Structure 1
Amino acid sequence: MAKNNFGTALVKNLKQNGWVQLGDTIKRKDKLTEEEKEQICISTSKKKYNSTQGLKTAWIDDYRNLRNKEHQKDPFILFVKQELGLDVWPEFFFSTERLYRIDYAIPIAKDGKILKIAIEQEGGIWAKGNSGHSSGVGIKRDMEKNNLLQSLGWRLIRRQPSEMLTIQTLRFISEVYF
């Protein structure tokens, strides 16, 4: 019985730390082949999840990210898809430990590597007061979030709302991607 509990705990721990299960094997996300990544994306997108069940991996197979991608198609997502041919994931959960989300994520598998582009829309930067991102608590939370993003290998692009649908934003994304 103890061995079975140890195995279950080990698998759970690995999944929480960025590993994925493919059939009877467990692999690191950054070591997956293109075919395996496609298999994960296809198999998880066919499942229906609710808030009490589903994968919480902080990647493209996370039920929360699949749900957000399925239900949101805003102008920025359509703009990047049209101009660069890249899939943009809105409100992307990037950590299993924290409930932090990226406004927009572009997770890409390129040349056998995982490329993670995070785009944050910095609204309310000119607002005065003690609410939201401009308060001491909000600024501290954003700093923690940004540091966690970088420690997990994400490249962060920060833009004002008026700058989202611009050539400059496309250039920033292209510099990271191409």
Structure 2
Amino acid sequence: MTGRAVAEDSIGVDQFKIDPETRKITRCPQGHQPIFSLYDEIKETHTAKFYKEHCQNCPLFERCQVKEQKRAYHISFSENKIRTDQTRSKMGTDRHRELSNYRAGVEGVPSVLKRAYRLEHLPVRGQVRSNFCLHHRPKLQKMQEIHQKEWSSHFYASYISKKICDQKNFDHKDSTLTFFGNKKLVFGI
């Protein structure tokens, strides 16, 4: 969320009652009707004025966002501010935490795929070819890993002559071949 957050003890503008048809403020959080209410469709802002007597005697006055003017208390806010306050009021709930954890997992999967399979650096252009690479690259890479392991362990062991690959030179546990007592050749990945 961007923007300045409302103070913890303050009442959000989402608590004001708004008529869904006229989009005007009909009641404050305490239930008082405004003297004047207006909705500007171009700027998408709600404006209302309340009697001074109602606001000064209200138990929620210290937490309310109304501003004092000469004859009344005034409040003005945008549609975006309403949506922001609604979202912020839901943020501390268990359901929000559950959904945010789920979202982190969903966003993590493409990130892992991009890093593991180098999907940002495809050697092709065009949607059809890119889709083909995206769908088959992980499969091909896994097949290459399996093939590389099999090839390195079986190929070298079978094609190197028996004279070099006797028990004292070739270590099957870590797939290394020792030449002349000190040089090692490593097979595998």
TM-score (norm 1): 0.22
Asked which structure has the greater RCO (Cα within 8 Å, sep 6+), the reply is 1
From the CA coordinates, give the structure whose radius of gyration is larger: 2
TM-score (norm 2): 0.21
